[in-house]
């Protein structure tokens, strides 16, 4: 029999085959919430396990090259988080190690094969001891000082080696019937990309959690600004943009399905801001309590002299109080809905937020669930 009919049939089917290959798999979006206990025991009912797919418990620390609990109440808190699996069997509970203040020892841990082995051994023991589903590495940042941590030029390659070896250990655990997840939190800057090997790193991690917030922080910048803009405002001197950050990490080699867009459940507040452009992109000073949880903004500020404005270019809200000369940049349900639509349109892996207790009334988390869990 001639092979020509089979060839013609294959040719006819080629467009549908290609379209199928290019279509993303039908997968649920990942909803990762960081839970920052602040050394306080968690209580039943504080966390709704049905509205998140992953919890990253923050933070564990590093001492003598080994991962250690960050607080005496961590064992108790891990037990409570594990109990949430009964309400959501698909929930995964990870521990996040490091953070802005506890990244001091990462460079030393990653430096040699021996030092990495000590850390990796301790991670495997830690995950087994507390029955956790994996590890989130929050090194802020390889090859950079962060809040004043030791760093080295070779952090760039050592970071990759650490993640590769952890993945090998985790894959070994999977072969024995235990799937362990490995994720990383990454700063939203080109400097972070330049000091990492994202094309290699992405092979070893389940998700890259982009910290697309804190673009503007009181005390760090001399002017006010949108601290988590979706798009760049033409008037913004920094041209800050979450969407541009996503594109930069894609260009660096991270597949879209591994990218989680980070959103803040808090706002930043500046004082001594003049009444011009409703305080946006104006000189401002840090004030006490400049980090403000969303629930405080929502229940208190909006009813006490603050007016809400909307930056239509960046698709985010801000508040200004002209009598007190106070400016607040924050996330609300309207801006979060647009970010969720962006996640769907760009086919990202999902969303990550810092942190759970900033939204005690559940408005932001409900918005995420409404937008990302609809057909």
User: What is the predicted pLDDT for the residue at 17?
Assistant: 37
Q: What is the CATH number of the domain that holds 99?
A: 3.20.20.80
Determine contact, residues 239/300, Cβ cutoff 8 Å: no
Round to whole Å and give the CA distance between 153 and 189: 17
Any domain includes 324: no
Any domain includes 121: yes
What pLDDT, in 10s, does the model give residues 255-282?
999 999 999 999 999 999 999 999 999 9
Region for 69 from its dihedrals, namely left if φ exceeds 0, alpha if ψ lies in -120 to 50, beta otherwise: beta
User: pLDDT-based confidence at 224, cuts 50/70/90?
Assistant: very high
| The pLDDT of residue 247 is above 60 | yes
Any domain includes 112: yes
Q: Which domain holds residue 150?
A: 25-264+331-372
Total domains in the fold of the chain: 1
Any domain includes 47: yes
| The pLDDT of residue 3 is above 60 | no
Any domain includes 343: yes
Round to whole Å and give the CA distance between 259 and 280: 30
Q: Is 140 a catalytic residue?
A: yes
Instruction: Kindly state the average pLDDT of the residues 309-318.
Output: 98
**Of 96, 139, 53, which is closest to residue 349 (Cα–Cα)?**
53
Give the percent of the chain with pLDDT over 90. Answer: 90
Any domain includes 304: no
User: What is the predicted pLDDT for the residue at 25?
Assistant: 47
User: pLDDT-based confidence at 15, cuts 50/70/90?
Assistant: very low
Any domain includes 311: no
Round to whole Å and give the CA distance between 343 and 316: 16
201 φ, ψ (degrees, to nearest 5) = -55, -40
Any domain includes 303: no
pTM of the model: 0.92
**Of 123, 142, 118, which is closest to residue 134 (Cα–Cα)?**
123
What pLDDT, in 10s, does the model give residues 161-214?
999 999 999 999 988 888 999 999 999 999 999 999 999 999 999 999 999 999
- The residues facing 95 across adjacent strands are 57, 135
Catalytic member of 120, 140, 197, 269: 140
Instruction: Kindly state the average pLDDT of the residues 245-251.
Output: 98
What is the chain's length?
Answer: 375
């Amino acid at each position: 029999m001639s092979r020509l009919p089979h060839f013609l049939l294959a040719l006819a089917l080629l467009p549908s085959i290609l379209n199928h290959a290019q279509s993303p798999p039908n997968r649920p979006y990942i909803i990762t919430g960081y839970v920052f206990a602040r050394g306080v025991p968690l209580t039943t009912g504080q966390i709704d396990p049905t509205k998140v797919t992953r919890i990253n418990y923050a933070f564990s620390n590093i001492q003598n090259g080994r991962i250690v609990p960050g607080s005496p109440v961590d064992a108790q808190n891990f037990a409570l988080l594990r109990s949430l699996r009964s309400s959501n069997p698909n929930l995964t509970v990870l521990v996040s190690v490091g953070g802005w203040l506890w990244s001091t020892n990462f460079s030393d841990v990653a430096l040699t094969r021996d030092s990495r082995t000590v850390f990796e051994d301790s991670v495997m023991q830690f995950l087994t001891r507390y029955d956790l589903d994996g590890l989130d590495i929050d090194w802020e940042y390889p090859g950079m000082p962060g809040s004043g941590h030791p760093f080295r030029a070779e952090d760039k390659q050592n970071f990759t080696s650490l993640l590769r070896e952890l993945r090998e250990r985790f894959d070994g655990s999977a072969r024995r019937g235990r799937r362990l997840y490995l994720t990383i939190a990454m700063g939203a800057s080109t400097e972070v990309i330049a000091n990492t090997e994202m094309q290699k790193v992405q092979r070893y991690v389940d998700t890259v959690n982009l910290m697309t917030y804190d673009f503007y922080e009181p005390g760090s910048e001399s002017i006010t600004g949108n601290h988590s803009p979706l798009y760049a405002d033409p008037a913004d001197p920094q041209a800050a943009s979450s969407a541009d950050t996503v594109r930069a990490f894609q260009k660096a080699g991270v597949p879209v399905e591994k990218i989680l867009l980070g959103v803040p459940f808090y706002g930043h507040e500046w004082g001594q801001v003049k009444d011009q452009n409703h305080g946006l992109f104006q000189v401002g000073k840090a004030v006490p309590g400049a980090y403000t949880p969303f629930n405080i903004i929502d229940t208190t500020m909006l009813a006490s002299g603050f007016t809400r404005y909307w930056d239509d270019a960046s698709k985010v809200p801000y508040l200004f109080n002209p009598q007190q000369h106070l400016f607040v940049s924050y996330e609300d349900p309207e801006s979060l809905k647009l970010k969720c639509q962006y996640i769907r349109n760009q086919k990202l892996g999902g969303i990550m937020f810092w942190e759970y207790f900033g939204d005690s009334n559940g408005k932001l988390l409900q918005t995420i669930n409404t937008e990302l869990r609809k057909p």
